[in-house]
Structure 1
Amino acid sequence: MAPHATAAELPPPRTSVGPLAWLKQNLFATPKDTVLTILVVLFLLWVVPPLLRWAIFDATISGTTRDVCTFDGACWTVIKMRFGQLIYGLYPPEARWRVNLMAVLVVLSLVPLFLPWLKQKLLYGAGVLIVMPIVASLILEGGWGGLQQVETNLWGGLFLTLLISFVGIAASLPIGILLALGRRSNMPIIKALCVTLIEIVRGVPLITVLFMASVMLPLFFPPGWSIDKLTRALIGVSIFSGAYMAEVIRGGLQAIPKGQYEAANAMGLSYWQSMGLIILPQALRLVIPGIVNTFIGLFKDTSLVLIMGLYDLLGIARMIVASPEWLGRSIETYVAAGFGFWIFCYAMSRYSQRLERKLHTGHKH
């Protein structure tokens, strides 16, 4: 060390920066933290090695039947052989390219919404919501231009889960906004109708709403009209999720200071102008965690469409487990289905956190 070195030139102590400092601050800061860290490490040493042996080292993925598998490790052969069913359900294999094409079109249609230079994103998004269901129905159901017709009761797997979730999310947000505004309306009839709908839907489980949509919804159509099970499920899921979304958005509206409403009135804005330009943008920013939480709940609740005879990802997993060919291999199938749900739920959660940081919804000073 140089004889004239000052304190400012000396490197910081190794225990205040770097990995050692992180360990001390986060894992061994107090005696209590130290004990908890040791207990967690011992628990992981007890759980992780057997899990790795079962899932990786002793697992089997070769072959085409369960006869090649042993009960010492996981039999991922079932996932390899039934992967197509887990993704597409009972959709005909020769027509699965239509599902892939539709997935590409959806992704391409959503890309412009993430471009910062695009103007009129709201108008573009509304156009996508109107056009894409028509395009999806023509491509996926077929029956025209030489395309094989595929009934909706054959749709299933992850494809059906994403379809119901996408439609439910796209429909529940505007439904929730309208119901939340209606519940805060000064018109008694509008307010009473919105409050009644919200409280009735929120007072019963989703499985009841789906059952009512399956049994009673056709009664509201003229004689001779028919509505397939998938459409009934989409309507039931959208209404159920919209009622919960309404309460989330109402909480955001109540958090807006009264001065914002007064400022909008002072500027001469109409009700819809003040809501669309001033109030709603602020309210939606405040309740992003609640909105995404509702979306995640909706994504997981799609498994309940099984009561309507529709086989989503979990429904297809149960069908595979019940088949005589793969009896006794339920753990691997359910693990694969659960992993599929977790991937998309985690992706929505991470995007929500990123959006919160971008919009500064934490009100940090």
Structure 2
Amino acid sequence: MSDTHAQTVRFVRQEMMPERAPPIREAGAVKWLRENLFSSWLNAILTLVSLYAVYYILSHVLPWMVFGIWDANSLTECRAVRDELYGENASVACWAVLADRWQQLMFGFYPSEFYWRPVLAVVVFLVALGPILFSGFPRQAIWFSAASPFLMYLLLWGGTIWGPLVVIVGFVIGVVAFQLLAKVAGNIVGGLASIILPILFWLFAAGPLASALAAALPIGLTFVPSDDFGGFMLSFIIGIAGITLSLPLGILLALGRQSDLFIINKVSVAFIEIIRGVPLIVWLFTASLLLNYFLPPGTNFDLMLRVIIMVTFFASAYIAEVVRGGLAALPRGQYEAADALGLDYAKSMRLIILPQALKISIPGIVNTFIGLFKDTTLVVFIGLLDPIGLSNAIRATTDWNGIYWELFVFIGLLFFICCFGMGRYSLWLERKLQTGHR
């Protein structure tokens, strides 16, 4: 038996073979290139063509950007420096226009001695975003976020401090009215009172009260009119105001469109369809030209405020449809579960339905915000000097007549930074909330 076994089992290894590196074609960068760029003859041709296109573009753009001229006071002087350094008609950028006019591109005609105010307003805005966008902030910091719009208004426009404080009093009146009347007459009556009473207070009592307080205690900052606003600051103000105001209004419109109450449903549908069915530029012309015909003679309705209102309405109509899509995507069982728990309409929406619908709607909402922020450049057609309008004004001067790409590259970079930041936050929030199905 032992001889037979020795003949059938020729060799038995007593130890494991040592590990060896995989073939070069199956590991590292070579594997990635072979699988992603050269997996077939067609992909190989497309890769080579793409590499040549990238090389061609960069070989022309990078020297134009890197070897640009920063020290000049006019386009003529910039061209003279170019001819001296690189030869006549060399292709280099004249970045000196940015060094000479960057204040106008950023702040418009805002007084230079007050530049610290819009800069501080941006800092306040970024700090106020923390408790809203990130959960790691203390909950008490949300009060600073609630007060930040009034603080930013005071910093940007200036004037007496009593104006923003009186506006805050109107919100306090609305909250108190809702808490008192909701317990006695129900949520509907309390909700209507929380809207009507603040509006009446702002229309008839806020102005005289603020004027009386300003006369008694003249505390505040130097007033800067809206006509001095311009550049990227103007786009930032209109974009942020539109984004901040359009989200809650869009959610209310989405809920109104799904409401069983006839009047609320039809008003919401009419608002959404009319606003969404007309281009934004038409609404901006309406705010600029036609709205004054419907106001009493002598009424001074600030143009920037009219633009912010129209931009807010326009964005809210799109957000309403995005949120309605999120609401429609929820299974019917979620609504039935809220009813089974005995929750009323407000609590079921706040605790169960809207959190899930908004998670589904994050990509669409952020996409609307990005489009809104970029559409702020349309205000140039109604006479507001946004970055595009100021670039046209700069190119119309004798010093910089003929400059072109440098200004638009700078403006595009500013908008890209803001829009890219919103997009990256959207992706981070989706991953954090695990939106969608795996």
> Structure 2 CA distance, aligned partners of 1:178 and 1:15?
58
Q: 2:61 aligns with which of 25, 29, 51?
A: 51
- What is the deviation of 1:115? 3.9
Query: Highest CA radius of gyration, 1 or 2?
Result: 2
Residue in structure 2 matched with residue 133 of structure 1 by the alignment: 149
Residue in structure 1 matched with residue 112 of structure 2 by the alignment: 93
Matches within 5 A, 1:1-365: 6=16, 9-57=19-67, 59-66=68-75, 67-69=77-79, 70=82, 71-72=89-90, 73-113=92-132, 114-116=134-136, 118-119=138-139, 124=142, 128-129=145-146, 131-144=147-160, 145=219, 147-218=221-292, 224-364=298-438
> Structure 1 CA distance, aligned partners of 2:46 and 2:396?
42
Task: Indicate the SS of the match to 1:227.
Answer: coil
8 A Cα contact 1:64 1:77, kept in partner: yes
> Structure 1 CA distance, aligned partners of 2:326 and 2:138?
27
Task: Indicate the SS of the match to 2:300.
Answer: coil
8 A Cα contact 1:102 1:139, kept in partner: yes
8 A Cα contact 1:321 1:333, kept in partner: no
- What is the deviation of 1:153? 1.3
> Structure 2 CA distance, aligned partners of 1:270 and 1:169?
29
8 A Cα contact 2:106 2:233, kept in partner: yes
- What is the deviation of 1:61? 1.0
- Gaps of at least 5 residues in structure 1 are none
> Structure 2 CA distance, aligned partners of 1:202 and 1:120?
38
Task: Indicate the SS of the match to 1:15.
Answer: helix
Pairs aligned (count): 357
8 A Cα contact 1:60 1:75, kept in partner: yes
8 A Cα contact 1:98 1:139, kept in partner: yes
8 A Cα contact 2:73 2:399, kept in partner: no
- What is the deviation of 1:234? 0.5
Stretch of structure 1 that moved more, 207-216 or 243-252 = 207-216
TM-score by length of 2: 0.77
- What is the deviation of 1:223? 5.2
- What is the deviation of 1:328? 1.0
Stretch of structure 1 that moved more, 145-154 or 328-337 = 145-154
- What is the deviation of 1:241? 0.3
Identity level (%): 45
TM-score by length of 1: 0.92
> Structure 2 CA distance, aligned partners of 1:341 and 1:132?
23
Stretch of structure 1 that moved more, 304-313 or 243-252 = 304-313
Give 4+ residue runs of structure 1 displaced > 4 Å after superposition: 3-8, 218-224
8 A Cα contact 1:173 1:245, kept in partner: yes
The structure-2 alpha-carbon separation of the partners of 1:253 and 1:110, relative to structure 1 and needing over 3 Å to count, comes to: same
> Structure 2 CA distance, aligned partners of 1:4 and 1:157?
78
> Structure 2 CA distance, aligned partners of 1:220 and 1:133?
29
> Structure 2 CA distance, aligned partners of 1:157 and 1:255?
41
- What is the deviation of 1:221? 5.0
The structure-2 alpha-carbon separation of the partners of 1:6 and 1:15, relative to structure 1 and needing over 3 Å to count, comes to: farther
Higher relative CO (CA 8 A, sep ≥ 6), structure 1 or 2? 1
Q: What root-mean-square deviation, in Å, do the aligned CA atoms of Structure 1 and Structure 2 show? A: 2.1
